[in-house]
Amino acid sequence: MTTTHKNSNNALVKLVDINKIFFTDEVETQALNAINLSIDKGEYLSISGPSGCGKSTLLSLLGLLDTSSNGQYNLAGHDVSDLSRDERARIRNKEIGFIFQSFNLISDLSVEDNVALPLTYRSDLSRKDVDTLVKASLEKVDMAHRANHFPSQLSGGQQQRVAIARAIAGSPSIILADEPTGNLDSKNAQIVMNILDTLHRDGVTICMVTHDPSSAARASRMIEVFDGKIVADKLTNNESAIAV
Amino acid sequence: MSFWIDIKYAARLLLKKPIFSLTSILIVAVGLGLTVYTYSLLNNLVFKPLVLNGDTPIYAIEAEYDHNHLSRRPADPFDLNRIKRDIDVVDDIGFSQDGTALFQDIEGKSGTVKFNASYVSWNIFEFSSTQPMLGRGFNVEDQQKGAEPVVVLSFEVWRDYFDRNEQVVDTLLTVEGEKMRVIGVMPQGYAFPSVAQTWLLLPPNFIDPVERSRTSVFGFMKLKAGVDFSTFEQELARITPLIIQDIPEDFEWRVSDNGNFLRALPYKEAAITQYYSIFIAMFIVVFLILLLACINIGNLLLARVNERIKEVAIRVALGIPRARLVWQMLWESIFLCTIGGFFALLLAGWGLDITNDIFTQAYAVNDQKPFWWELSLDANAIIVLIMTIVAMILITGLIPAWRALTGDFNAILRDGTRGALGKKAARATKALVISEILLSCVVLVIATILLYTSYSAAHADYGVETDNRITARLELPILAYPMNRADPEEQQRESGFKRSKFYYQLKEKMEALPNIEGVAFMSEFPGTGGGTSFFEIEGRAAQAYNENPFSNNEMVSQDSWRVVGMLIVSGRDFDYRDVEAGMLSIIVNESIANEFFPDGDAVGKRVRRVSSRGEGDWNTIIGVVSDTFHGSAMRSSSASYNSYHVFDAFAPTRINVAVHYSGRQALAEQALTQTIIEIDSSVAAFHVQTYDALIYQPMMLVTAVSKIFLLCGVVAVFLAASGIYAMAANGVTQRTQEIGVRRALGATDSMVMRLFMKQAMIQLTLGLLLGLGMSLWVIDLMTDTMVMNEISYYIGFIAVPALIIVMVVVATYIPTRRVVLMEPSNALHHD
């Protein structure tokens, strides 16, 4: 593995010897093999690799959407390896924001309600707090004027912007983006990437899976995954992507 | 060629999932089978006009229906003739009275045999375009005054009692105590107007009376060719007020309490008036089951399309024409519905055979089954089946076809769907779930209420003892025991005593036998009869006659109570004092005594009958007997208030007899028959059966219908459970990705479960409210003629919704829990 990245003692995310094995119809597939990874606060990390290399699996593990077969995972100083389902859900809700390739907005809910959705799962926010955070979030992605529309009334780029607003509304510790521009044309892809750049400049930690080299180059650090292993881990020369 | 490929592909898909296919075929078969069965039943019994050998439908024309006694009422032939004369569109009217005819010494065998007899106008056979197969029918000369009495036999009587002897024509038989010449034998199966086994002529003054009288007949009518029935109805409505105007005061009783006078309706419908609302309720329930079946199949096919949506998307990408795509979706429906339809035909045929057996059994004792009550699958039923199959194909096939046409195939082809369920699809699923709940609720509530009601009625306590009791109907021949209401009162009393003398002789002789405990006579025994009229208590008259209480009234012999297990609670039984001229005594039951004379002083008080026609004579209460219930517990004409008169001075020519025996029933029956012959061989005893059978026989038809509702209920539970589960599971499956998204955003398992359960409860509440509302409406239709058991309402309106709630909760919980237990990443990537 090629690495030029320094391991930090103040890592927001720390994966130690993570393995993930899938069992399907008696066939064993090792999706991830002895992954060791640290992500510092404020870093902008891209993960790339060929199809089926395990990058989406890695992102799922990072997002506590899946559990590793073994290994240790620390997030914001807490060992989250063996948490219960409800505890994982609470951490996802508070610490992690997701941006998916296919947007994954809920079609029955308006833009406003989609963005508010993760906030409604918290018991510490009043209705007024939620409304304030939603409004702020939508303004950041320039979608406040479409708050009462439904996803089916929006273009792909607009939907992804709403998804970003949803991801950042609760000020999570880290944003996990899985091919955020995969379903977008170049113009909208550019808009979305610019938003991510802005978020990063504002101190948000971003971890992005992408096929697109130009999107990957926007990150401050690039990881390559191949056959379930990290084969390269290097800083980019992207001056705009400066770790905070 | 392409159709053939699609057909083979559809067949292959169905064969790949045999359980799904068999379940679907079963659902279709049951739904369609019930539909065809019910259609055939109702078509034969009610809707298909009675046409006989002509091409013009036959209508009944008679007096307004008696809703108090749930019985048809004959009309004055004077009025019917005016209808024929004054309404131009009437082609012909004939008259009939159904009764019995006592034949003595048939073929040299001693004893009297009773046959159903129709006393008719001479034109009956021309009217029905059917001539005797032997001899001749009636002609106008036969009905003239002084003509030789003649009789026509049915094929069945000729076959069973005269050994198909062709020489019977032109012989003389003793019928009703007088010699009559047999002039003809009708073809097999002919029993017009309804249940006739023999035909005799009405007296001439019945056919063409010159003035009004108390004579009453039922009319059968044909309209001129091409005339619509509604035209006749308008004419009848026009002429009725004119007729009513001309009715003198003495005959105002002909006009019903609600001001109606005559009614005309399709002939078959007239015969089942009291059951009409039940049949309509049955039709509604079966239609709902068919809808349930359609929704179930549609949903199952929809779920399959969702499973194959990517394949469909690929076909669209390859350029499949829309029409071809729709046809591909339809082929599976076509297969399922056609195969199911075939089995439906078998099921319906089997059901009709069973129903024919039930009818035969129900009327085995009294031979009162109308001749058109022979059920079979005819061409119309096949047409209905084909049309229903086509409708079912369209409904069940178009649901998945709509899904196939409206999918966002770009998104599907790229990478899964755009997040969760589309709004339209979500709305459609919700509507289907609510419909499923609504339909299930209606069918189950009605089935439960009817079943429990008929079960309760069958096991009700009628206040009598029925063990070791047989009953029979006795008929005294009119010539030997004349009864003429036109005679002076003294003469009427004399002939009444003659009749009661026979009855008391029979009682005395039978009670002398060692195996006979007692003999009683009643106009109707408890558990049968029914029908009420208003009565006034002396000193407590209501302002209007119909604000007084009402009771059932029967005629009884002396010393009847012990025979049927009733008790004299206070006062005394009828005796010689009560048959003196001018003595009008009455016995009431405990309910009347307790309700209206709570101080226990009923004996000695006076009551009288009141109606729109005036007041009857005052009767003195001489005794109180234990409570009984006349009529079935299910009929609205039944009564728990009962009063009794002794029949001695006015004994009827027809009466019911109950015999309490010990030992073998057959010996008791034999004793009855023998004793009658010994006293007077011209008297007939028929409808001999146990007391239990007497009570339950009138309920057999409704009990049979209730069993059909039971079947409907079982089918509905199966369809409801499978349908609601499939619907809910399908709905959850379609929202798997949404569940993944919610969980990714931090929703805990319980939050997701609560969300889905809450949404399910909203659909459930809506479906139940609509379903219960509709159930009430359908039940209300039936309560014209049926009394629903009170407890059945609790069971129906509480237990059934509870069952549906459990079904919906389970159907939502299980699939939701299954998805919630998935890893969020798997749910997110679910197609």
Average pLDDT over residues A133-138: 95
Would you call B741 and A104 a contact, using CB atoms and an 8 Å cutoff? Answer: yes
What pLDDT digit, counting tens, does each position of B75-129 carry? 999 999 999 999 999 999 999 998 888 888 787 666 788 888 999 999 999 898 8
Among the residue ranges A208-217, B20-29, B528-537, the one predicted with the least confidence is B528-537
Phi-psi region of A126 (alpha: psi -120 to 50; beta: other; left: phi over 0): beta
Would you call B745 and A93 a contact, using CB atoms and an 8 Å cutoff? Answer: yes
Please report the sign of the dihedral spanned by the C-alpha atoms of residue B511, residue B515, residue B521, residue B526. positive
Would you call A117 and B737 a contact, using CB atoms and an 8 Å cutoff? Answer: no
In one-letter notation, the amino acid at residue B465 is: E
Q: B160 burial class (0-12, 13-18, 19+ CB within 10 angstroms)? A: exposed
Nearest CA in chain A to B751: A121
Mean pLDDT of chain B: 86
> Which residue in B415, B751, B825 is closest to A102 by CB distance?
B415
Largest CA distance in chain A: 52
Please report the sign of the dihedral spanned by the C-alpha atoms of residue A113, residue A117, residue A119, residue A125. positive
| Sequence-ordered list of residues with C-beta below 8 angstroms from that of B284, at least 6 positions apart, any chain | B778
What pLDDT digit, counting tens, does each position of A156-206 carry? 999 999 999 999 999 999 999 999 998 899 899 999 999 999 999 989 999
State what percent of residues in chain B have pLDDT above 90: 40
Axis-axis angle for helices B700-734, B322-362 (nearest 10): 160
State what percent of residues in chain A have pLDDT above 90: 65
Contact predicate B198/B151, CB 8 Å: yes
For the cut 70, the answer to whether the pLDDT of residue B408 exceeds it is no
d(CA B341, CA B290): 12
Listed residue (B345, B79, B393) closest to B236, CA to CA: B79
Among the residue ranges B15-24, B75-84, B315-324, B744-753, the one predicted with the least confidence is B315-324
Nearest CA in chain B to A62: B825
Contact predicate B325/B315, CB 8 Å: yes
> Which residue in B419, B751, B825 is closest to A102 by CB distance?
B419
What pLDDT digit, counting tens, does each position of B364-388 carry? 766 777 888 888 899 999 999 999 9
* Cα B655 → chain centroid: 26
Nearest CA in chain B to A170: B745
Number of Cα atoms under 13 Å in the Cβ half of residue B757: 15
Nearest CA in chain B to A56: B825
For the cut 60, the answer to whether the pLDDT of residue B297 exceeds it is yes
Q: Chain B: give the shortest CA distance to residue A10, in Å.
A: 25
Q: What is the pLDDT of residue B43?
A: 87
Residues of B in contact with A94 (CB under 8 A): 746
Q: What is the pLDDT of residue A138?
A: 96
Listed residue (B726, B733, B687) closest to B831, CA to CA: B733
Nearest CA in chain A to B825: A65
For the cut 70, the answer to whether the pLDDT of residue B315 exceeds it is yes
What pLDDT digit, counting tens, does each position of B424-455 carry? 667 777 888 888 888 888 888 888 887 787 77
Residues of B in contact with A130 (CB under 8 A): none
Please report the sign of the dihedral spanned by the C-alpha atoms of residue B492, residue B493, residue B496, residue B497. negative
Would you call A102 and B747 a contact, using CB atoms and an 8 Å cutoff? Answer: no
Would you call A107 and B419 a contact, using CB atoms and an 8 Å cutoff? Answer: yes
pTM above the 0.80 mark? no
For the cut 80, the answer to whether the pLDDT of residue B594 exceeds it is yes
Nearest CA in chain A to B755: A121
Would you call B423 and A104 a contact, using CB atoms and an 8 Å cutoff? Answer: no
What pLDDT band is residue A242 in, cutting at 50, 70 and 90? Answer: very low
What pLDDT digit, counting tens, does each position of A70-115 carry? 999 999 888 998 899 889 999 999 999 999 998 999 888 899 999 9
Nearest CA in chain B to A95: B746
In a 3-state reduction of DSSP, which class is residue A34?
strand
Q: What is the pLDDT of residue B423?
A: 63
Q: What is the pLDDT of residue B708?
A: 76
Element (H, E) at B717: helix B700-734
Would you call A102 and B416 a contact, using CB atoms and an 8 Å cutoff? Answer: yes
Q: What is the pLDDT of residue B415?
A: 42
In one-letter notation, the amino acid at residue A57 is: T
Average pLDDT over residues B159-174: 92
* Interface membership of B753 toward A (CB under 8 Å): no
User: What are the Cα distances from residue A114, in Å, to A164, A188, A191, B483?
Assistant: 11, 20, 20, 90
Q: What is the pLDDT of residue B414?
A: 47
Q: A152 burial class (0-12, 13-18, 19+ CB within 10 angstroms)? A: middle
Edge-to-edge strand list for the sheet holding A70-75: A27-40, A11-24, A70-75, A78-79
Among the residue ranges B2-16, B511-525, B667-681, the one predicted with the least confidence is B2-16
What pLDDT band is residue B830 in, cutting at 50, 70 and 90? Answer: confident
Q: Which residues of A touch B (CB under 8 A)?
A: 57, 60, 63, 65-67, 85-86, 89-90, 92-94, 98, 100-108, 117-118, 121-122, 150-152, 166, 182-183
Q: What is the pLDDT of residue B607?
A: 94
Q: Chain B: give the shortest CA distance to residue A121, in Å.
A: 6
What pLDDT band is residue B418 in, cutting at 50, 70 and 90? Answer: very low
First to last CA, chain A: 26
Residues of B in contact with A104 (CB under 8 A): 419-420, 737, 740-741, 744, 828
What pLDDT band is residue B416 in, cutting at 50, 70 and 90? Answer: very low
Average pLDDT over residues B674-689: 88
Q: Chain B: give the shortest CA distance to residue A152, in Å.
A: 8
* Interface membership of B823 toward A (CB under 8 Å): yes
Q: What is the pLDDT of residue B487?
A: 77
* Cα B462 → chain centroid: 22
* Cα B228 → chain centroid: 28
What pLDDT digit, counting tens, does each position of B790-814 carry? 888 888 899 999 999 998 899 899 9
In a 3-state reduction of DSSP, which class is residue B82?
helix
What pLDDT band is residue B421 in, cutting at 50, 70 and 90? Answer: very low
> Which residue in A63, A101, A121 is closest to B415 by CB distance?
A101
Residues recorded for chain A: 244
Q: What is the pLDDT of residue B180?
A: 94
Residues of B in contact with A65 (CB under 8 A): 740, 743-744, 823-825, 828
* Interface membership of B747 toward A (CB under 8 Å): yes
Would you call A65 and B823 a contact, using CB atoms and an 8 Å cutoff? Answer: yes
d(CA B291, CA B441): 13
Would you call B825 and A104 a contact, using CB atoms and an 8 Å cutoff? Answer: no
Number of Cα atoms under 13 Å in the Cβ half of residue A182: 18
d(CA B331, CA B339): 12
What is the token pair recorded at B43?
């078509």
Mean pLDDT of chain A: 88
For the cut 50, the answer to whether the pLDDT of residue A117 exceeds it is yes
In one-letter notation, the amino acid at residue B349 is: G
Q: What is the pLDDT of residue A206?
A: 95
CB contact burial A35-50 (16+ within 10 A = b; e otherwise): bbbbbbbbbbbbbbbe
Q: What is the pLDDT of residue B746?
A: 92
What pLDDT band is residue B693 in, cutting at 50, 70 and 90? Answer: confident
Q: What is the pLDDT of residue B320?
A: 75
* Interface membership of B749 toward A (CB under 8 Å): yes
Give the residue ranges of DSSP H helices in chain A.
55-62, 85-95, 111-120, 127-140, 156-168, 186-201, 213-216
Average pLDDT over residues B513-540: 90
Number of Cα atoms under 13 Å in the Cβ half of residue B395: 19
Window 390-449 of B, Cβ < 8 Å to A: 411, 414-423, 426
- Pairing mode of beta strands B218-223, B90-104: antiparallel
Q: Indicate which of B735, B742, B745, B753 best probes the interface with A, i.e. most A CBs within 10 Å of its own CB.
A: B745
For the cut 90, the answer to whether the pLDDT of residue B773 exceeds it is yes
Q: What is the pLDDT of residue B419?
A: 39
State what percent of residues in chain B have pLDDT above 70: 93
Listed residue (B556, B541, B544) closest to B500, CA to CA: B556
Q: Chain A: give the shortest CA distance to residue B723, in Å.
A: 24
d(CA B313, CA B117): 73
Would you call B746 and A118 a contact, using CB atoms and an 8 Å cutoff? Answer: yes
What pLDDT band is residue A28 in, cutting at 50, 70 and 90? Answer: confident
Residues of B in contact with A85 (CB under 8 A): 748-749
Element (H, E) at B96: strand B90-104
Would you call A150 and B828 a contact, using CB atoms and an 8 Å cutoff? Answer: no
What pLDDT digit, counting tens, does each position of B608-661 carry? 999 877 888 999 999 999 998 887 666 655 567 999 999 988 888 889 999 999
For the cut 60, the answer to whether the pLDDT of residue A243 exceeds it is no
Q: What is the pLDDT of residue A244?
A: 37
Average pLDDT over residues B561-568: 95
For the cut 50, the answer to whether the pLDDT of residue B417 exceeds it is no
Listed residue (B214, B216, B213) closest to B202, CA to CA: B216
